[in-house]
Amino acid sequence: MSTATSHTILVTAPALASAGADRLRASGLRILYLEGGKAELDRLMASEPIDAVISRTLTLDGAAIDACPTLKVISKHGAGVNNIDVDAATRRGLPVFYSGGNAQAVAEMTIGMAIAIARDLVLHDRSLHAGGWTRNQIGIELSGRTLGIVGYGKIGSRVAAIGAALGMKVIVYDPHVRARGYEGIASLPEFLQRADVLSLHCPLNPSSRGMLGAAELALLPPGAILLNTARGEVVDEAALLAALASGRLRGAGLDSFSEEPLPPGHPFLGLPNVLLTPHVGGSTHEALAAVAAGAAEHALDWLGGRPVDPSFCVNPSVLDSSIRASAS
């Protein structure tokens, strides 16, 4: 997999899993790893002849993109591109690719959260660690309950399959994708009224930001469980806090928040019916290797003039012959 040695690629993190790092080293191109934060990212974009960026969690905004005239492609390490100014990249004719590979990891964690909340596993664990032996927490079974999936993509479809295997009835809300094998519901209010377990797997965009506010959460059946392994901004967190504190919702499993890291003293930390994880849904050894390899391959293939699966491009309008010719 040879790529011109004149190319420079920037990884916006101090390291990359070996499955991706080895591919970059084998290509013979120049690799820059980011040791600092946003200020260092901006400096490098303005001062180095960067041809490709493998974007992790730092914000790659329009100013940084426009400051780098040599940039040819952006490859996201993961699926969510809300930290990348895709509009700015599109105006420059730059493709933005995302890498698959972590869907199974996120799906397994999502169902794990559902089981943990249904069976009060966190409360039992805390009780035993505190020296107690309390057996008065009565859990519920997921079998026979309705699992509502928002976003029927690579992750949502896997969550649906696991839920169905547990004996759950699966319904899907996705205006853009037909949920083959499951009941798709076009009306969000009708969908929410039926979802005993609501699992979010939609990308963050203008239509999904704040999609679930107080009115929407009030439509969920009493005792419902909410799972968010997508993006925190999809949910009005103040409204969710109120629904959890009132006891109307049984609990929530949250792996993503509107502000990350979660600040000390955040109200979520004081609620016993919330299972919190630090945005690690896709962080297994297997998933990190697959995501790193995919991100590296997309960047290398584009720079080398090789075909890239357009289904992994979030702005496919730039995938034309003139742009490809200028990238190689």
Q: What is the pLDDT of residue 132?
A: 92
Q: What pTM, to 2 d.p., does this model score? A: 0.87
Q: Which domains does the chain have, with CATH numbers?
A: 8-101+285-327 (3.40.50.720), 103-276 (3.40.50.720)
260 is catalytic: yes
Q: State the Cα–Cα distance between residues 106 and 227, nearest whole angstrom.
A: 11
The single residue of 190, 260, 285, 306 carrying the catalytic annotation is 260
Q: What is the pLDDT of residue 134?
A: 85
The single residue of 23, 145, 194, 231 carrying the catalytic annotation is 231
40 is catalytic: no
117-172 pLDDT, tens digit per residue, is 999 999 999 999 999 998 877 899 999 999 999 999 999 999 999 999 999 999 99
Beta strands in 140-212 (DSSP E): 146-150, 169-173, 183-184, 197-200
Q: State the Cα–Cα distance between residues 255 and 287, nearest whole angstrom.
A: 16
79-109 pLDDT, tens digit per residue, is 889 899 999 999 999 999 999 889 999 999 9
List Cβ neighbours of 216 (8 Å cut-off, separation of 6 or more). 188, 189, 192
* Averaged pLDDT for residues 236-260: 97
The single residue of 201, 279, 297, 298 carrying the catalytic annotation is 279
Band the pLDDT of 5: cuts 50, 70, 90. low
pLDDT for 70 beyond 90: yes
Q: What is the pLDDT of residue 1?
A: 45
